[in-house]
């Protein structure tokens, strides 16, 4: 065996992550707002790019959504997909932090889908329209108005704002003191209690309006946890009052509204413009109804290459460095246009497959949502799972009854009693919410009872899973619901009408 330096010639195939390929991958996962900001930067840097006004309606499958993408571009993106797989490939995260229903906003059935603000403006009695109208009246300063609108996005159904002042200040790059000042002005909006951060703050605002927020009542509100726990004797000692005073204070507490936002029809304030539009259509020949998916032109920036200007520049340029600069700008513009075309085509392809597989959801609601993972869509569309993950991130589809993030349709599965049948975890959460909403306040359903009811409907589920889903939806335990109901502090809303998850057990 010879030991010493030598020259070896080998051949191997590697994937080079060029800046253009990195740009294509980045654009694929951009939301439409991020994409618009990126396009604006490119328009400022590249004189050969020009923006095309989007006044020609939506783009659907009957119109050429984009021009043909070159074979080289498609091959490069396809070859890159396996190398780009990451931790979000098998996204099945919990969606309960969005209120359990996955809606970016709720709307009534309509024939045409307008821009997102119309979802708020069309309902004059909604919480959203009420708050936005008050903000218009209160805030004349543009900076304060921007902070107020950001805080309004955090309103929940009960009228509470769960945001952190520090996080809002950091996101908007303003002092935290300014955020607190704007928040204080928002708490003056009628009815009293809106924009409160806690129950004590909500009730305190209503008592202050009645001129009843004395030091004794402040102490009482500071120990609401003892009221919820039923520790009334300890509460009397903490407040230094007798039993009669305690009864009077509890009676006054019952006259307050712990959920002032529920006086209005709830509609979350979301600055979401859907990337896709879904409408129901009827086949002229067969008469069968189906779903029509199209790209929303308002959320799809269109850029073109100004070829006339490019030709003019190339004719007048003599210096080699200038010609190289123009050629590089032309190549960059050409790649950007092709990348945007590929992005639009991929989004539409994935969205159509999601609608096809979740047809029951769009017809009947969350109760029939099917379990689905990224691999199901990846196999059907012949894309890599990481590509599907990026396509569905921060992308929204406007259906006749609401706007949904594409990620919402990917849920884990729970077994049903019928062999081979699986049920979506999101559908189970919806059913739990339905059961709790219809319970007797004096005899709330325990987790064991909910398990039994679900099993009667054909759903096999463990008690710890029910507890996990209930806690994720911020539903108190049965003991806490019983205590709060007895004190009159919690009103359980009636359940919405919806079909059962599964038929009765055999």
Q: Looking at the predicted structure, is the pLDDT value of residue 352 above 90?
A: yes
| 380/354 Cα distance (integer angstroms) | 10
Residue 355: per-residue pLDDT: 92
> Tell me, what's the pLDDT at 226?
81
Predicted pLDDT at 270: 54
Domains in the chain with CATH codes: 18-73+102-115+272-366+377-410 (no CATH), 124-216+250-266 (no CATH), 413-487 (1.10.10.60)
C-alpha distances out from residue 45 to 40, 98, 228, 244, 311, Å: 9, 38, 60, 75, 19
Burial 121-139 (b: 16+ CB within 10 A, else e): eebeebbbbbbbebbeeeb
What pLDDT shows up at residue 180? 92
Q: Which residues contact 268 (CB under 8 A, 6 or more apart)?
A: 99, 103, 104, 105, 106, 128, 153, 155
**What is the C-alpha to C-alpha distance for residues 380 and 349, in angstroms, rounded to an integer?**
10
How confident is the model at residue 2, as a pLDDT?
66
Please determine, for residue 73, whether its predicted confidence score (pLDDT) is greater than 80. Answer: no
What tokens does 197 get? 């951060």
CA distance 167 to 197: 14
Share the mean pLDDT of the chain.
76
Q: Which of 12-16, 325-329, 335-339 has the lowest mean pLDDT?
A: 12-16
Whether the pLDDT of residue 50 is over 90: the answer is: no
Which helix or strand (DSSP H or E) is residue 506 part of? none
Residue 419: other Cβ atoms inside 10 A: 6
User: Minimal CA–CA distance to 370: which of 380, 381, 357, 382?
Assistant: 357
- Reported as a single tens digit per residue, the pLDDT across 488-506 is 554 444 333 333 333 333 3
Q: How far apart, in whole angstroms, are the C-alpha atoms of residue 466 and residue 503?
A: 20
Taking residues 1-15, report their average pLDDT.
Answer: 75
91-95, 184-188, 304-308: segment of lowest average pLDDT:
91-95
Mean pLDDT value of segment 372-396? 89
Name the DSSP letter for residue 289.
E
Which residues does 431 contact at the CB level (< 8 Å), separation at least 6? 367, 454, 457, 459, 500, 501
Give the CA radius of gyration of the chain: 28
pLDDT of 125: 58
Count Cβ atoms below 10 Å from residue 394 Cβ, excluding itself: 18
* Whether the Cβ atoms of residue 341 and residue 66 lie closer than 8 Å to each other: yes
pLDDT for 380: 92
Which class for 115: exposed (0-12), middle (13-18), buried (19 or more C-beta within 10 A)? middle
Burial bucket for residue 91 (CB in 10 Å: 0-12, 13-18, 19+): middle
Distance CA 32, CA 127 (A): 26
């Amino acid at each position: 065996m010879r030991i010493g330096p030598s020259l070896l010639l080998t051949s191997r195939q590697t994937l080079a992550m060029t800046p253009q390929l990195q740009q294509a991958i980045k654009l694929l996962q951009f939301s439409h707002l991020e994409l618009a900001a990126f396009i604006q930067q490119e328009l400022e840097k590249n004189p050969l790019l020009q923006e095309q006004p989007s006044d020609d309606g939506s783009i659907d499958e009957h119109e050429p959504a984009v021009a043909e993408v070159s074979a080289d571009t498609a091959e490069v993106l396809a070859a890159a997909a396996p190398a780009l797989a990451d931790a979000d490939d098998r996204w099945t995260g919990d969606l309960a932090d969005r209120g359990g229903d996955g809606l970016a906003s709720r709307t009534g059935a309509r024939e045409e889908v307008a821009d997102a603000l119309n979802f708020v403006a069309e309902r004059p009695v909604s919480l959203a329209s009420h708050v936005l109208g008050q903000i218009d009246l209160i805030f004349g300063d543009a900076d304060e108005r921007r902070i107020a609108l950001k805080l309004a996005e955090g309103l929940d159904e009960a009228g509470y704002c769960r945001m952190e002042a520090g996080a809002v200040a950091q996101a908007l790059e303003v002092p935290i003191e300014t955020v607190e000042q704007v928040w204080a002005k928002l708490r003056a909006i009628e009815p009293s209690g809106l924009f409160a951060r806690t129950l004590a703050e909500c009730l305190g605002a209503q008592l202050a309006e009645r001129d009843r927020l004395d030091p004794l009542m402040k102490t009482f509100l500071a120990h609401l946890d003892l009221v919820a726990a039923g520790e009334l004797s300890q509460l009397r000692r903490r407040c230094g009052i007798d039993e009669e005073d305690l009864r009077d204070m509890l009676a006054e507490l019952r006259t307050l509204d712990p959920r002032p936002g529920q006086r209005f029809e709830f509609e979350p304030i979301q600055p979401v413009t859907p990337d896709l539009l879904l409408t129901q259509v009827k086949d002229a020949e067969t008469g069968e109804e189906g779903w029509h998916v199209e790209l929303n032109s308002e959320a799809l920036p269109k850029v073109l290459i100004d070829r006339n200007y490019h030709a003019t520049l190339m004719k007048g340029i003599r210096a080699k460095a200038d010609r190289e600069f123009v050629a590089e700008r032309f190549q960059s513009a050409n790649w950007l246009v092709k990348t945007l075309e590929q992005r639009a085509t991929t989004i539409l392809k994935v969205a159509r497959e999601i609608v096809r597989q979740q047809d029951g959801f769009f017809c009947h609601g969350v109760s029939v949502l099917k379990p689905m993972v990224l691999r199901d869509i990846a196999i059907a569309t012949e894309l890599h799972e990481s590509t599907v993950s990026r396509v569905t991130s921060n992308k929204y589809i406007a259906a006749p009854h609401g706007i949904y993030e594409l990620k919402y349709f990917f849920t884990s599965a729970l077994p049903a009693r019928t062999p081979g049948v699986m049920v979506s975890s999101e559908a189970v959460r919806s059913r739990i919410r339905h059961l709790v909403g219809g319970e007797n306040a004096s005899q709330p359903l325990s987790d064991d009872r909910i398990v039994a009811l679900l099993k009667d409907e054909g759903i096999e589920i463990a008690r710890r899973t029910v507890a996990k889903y209930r806690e994720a939806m911020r539903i108190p335990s049965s003991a806490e619901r019983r205590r709060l109901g007895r004190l009159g502090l919690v009103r359980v809303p009636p359940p919405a009408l919806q079909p059962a998850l599964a038929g009765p057990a055999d």
